[in-house]
């Protein structure tokens, strides 16, 4: 197979899985490691991929990936993260779930909880939890973002300020090496910051591909949160920061 045919398929795999590795692509295409490294270098030079150790990822920038692509990325890891997060949320509590495919996975894991009050600015979360008769669902108003079913804006923030949640579960687009939690949409970031301020305990749910990405807008620091649920051990420097901040890190296996 020539590179003309490999490149589109490499990009498709990267969009689905969030990352591609030299070893797995060499096996997939039946070519040498050197051939794949050359392919990835060419795709990186064209701005289609971003090289990382052992492979490549979809490049970071000022715009997020298309929602349907994000939904399919790291789906197994997101499900494991969501299960672990949901296990830490007891029955008979109030919970906020914000925009994101990881928080939608948490909503699925809450389908068998009882006595929950869930407030959300995510139409998809509301649709998932309507199947749980023991869960009251409140949808925060706001401007509908048709691309992913999110609600943002001043009306959303005003609604959130009417509550004091036992737990909040938020996602992010990227996590910097210094523990800064990042996103792309300024309006969504404003909503996330309000959620954190109105929660007694806040979870961040984010898979390890977020360690390799960047985004332009700061939500908060991990130091401002209580629990971080992810799928891989943190880099040593960030793990040490979390210990110093008293942030509990849960790793889904």
Listing DSSP states for 99-126 in one string gives SSHHHHHHHHHTTT--SEEEEESBHHHH
Do 32 and 111 fall within a single domain? Answer: no
Q: Identify whether residues 86 and 161 lie together within a single domain.
A: yes
Q: Say whether both 9 and 32 belong to one domain.
A: yes
CATH number of the domain where residue 40 is located? 1.10.10.10
The label of the residue with tokens 């030299």 reads 22
Q: Which domain holds residue 18?
A: 3-57
Q: Looking at the structure, tell me whether residues 42 and 94 fall in a common domain.
A: no
Mean pLDDT across the stretch 115-133? 97
- Tens digit of each residue's pLDDT (9 = 90 or more) over 34-48: 999 999 999 888 878
Say if residue 62's pLDDT is above 50: no
Whether 175 and 150 map to the same domain: the answer is yes
10 Å Cβ neighbour count for 155? 14
| Domain count within the chain | 2
pLDDT at 231: 95
Domain boundary among 31, 57, 83: 57
Give the SS3 label for residue 52.
strand
User: Is 195 part of a structural domain of the chain?
Assistant: yes
The closest of 227, 205, 175 to 74, measured between CA atoms, is 205
Q: From the centroid of its chain, how far is CA 227? A: 14
45 shares a domain with 71 = no
pLDDT tens column, 203-237: 999 998 888 778 889 999 999 999 999 999 999 99
In the chain, % helix, strand, coil (3-state, to 5) comes to 45, 25, 35
pLDDT higher than 60, residue 183: yes
Specify if 131 maps to a domain: yes
The strand order across the sheet containing 19-21 reads 19-21, 55-57, 50-52
pTM of the complete model: 0.75
Identify whether 62 is part of a domain.
Answer: no
State whether 121 and 152 are in the same domain.
Answer: yes
Residue 247 in domain: yes
**Does residue 95 share a domain with residue 12?**
no
Same domain assignment for residues 110 and 38: no
What count of other Cβ atoms lies within 10 Å of the Cβ of residue 243? 12
Mean pLDDT of 18-41: 91
Residues 51 and 72 in one domain: no
Instruction: Please give the DSSP secondary-structure letter assigned to residue 145.
Output: E
Q: Indicate whether 205 and 89 sit together in one domain.
A: yes
Q: What percent of the chain has pLDDT over 70?
A: 91
DSSP 140: -
Do 106 and 29 share a structural domain? Answer: no
Q: Provide the phi-psi class of 30: left if phi over 0, else alpha when psi is between -120 and 50, else beta.
A: left
């Amino acid at each position: 197979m020539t590179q003309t045919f490999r490149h589109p398929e490499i990009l498709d795999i990267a969009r689905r899985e969030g990352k591609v590795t030299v070893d797995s692509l060499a096996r997939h295409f039946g070519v040498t490691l050197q051939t794949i490294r050359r392919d990835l270098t060419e795709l990186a030079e064209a701005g289609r991929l971003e090289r990382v150790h052992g492979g490549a990822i979809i490049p970071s920038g000022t715009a997020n990936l298309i929602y349907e692509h994000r939904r399919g990325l790291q789906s197994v890891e997101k499900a494991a993260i969501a299960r672990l997060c949901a296990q830490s949320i007891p029955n008979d509590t109030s919970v906020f779930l914000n925009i994101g495919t990881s928080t939608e996975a948490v909503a699925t894991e809450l389908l068998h909880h009882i006595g929950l009050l869930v407030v959300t600015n995510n139409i998809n979360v509301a649709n998932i939890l309507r199947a749980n008769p023991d869960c009251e669902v409140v949808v925060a108003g706001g401007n509908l973002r048709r691309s992913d079913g999110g609600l943002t804006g001043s009306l959303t923030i005003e609604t959130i300020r009417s509550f004091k949640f036992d737990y909040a579960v938020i996602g992010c687009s990227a996590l910097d090496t210094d523990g800064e939690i990042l996103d792309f949409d300024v309006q969504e970031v404003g909503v996330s910051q309000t959620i954190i301020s109105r929660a007694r305990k806040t979870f961040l749910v984010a898979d390890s591909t977020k360690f390799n990405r960047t985004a332009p807008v700061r939500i908060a620091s991990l130091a401002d949160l209580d629990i971080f649920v992810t799928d891989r051990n943190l880099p040593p420097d960030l793990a040490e920061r979390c210990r110093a901040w008293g942030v509990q890190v849960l790793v889904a296996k």
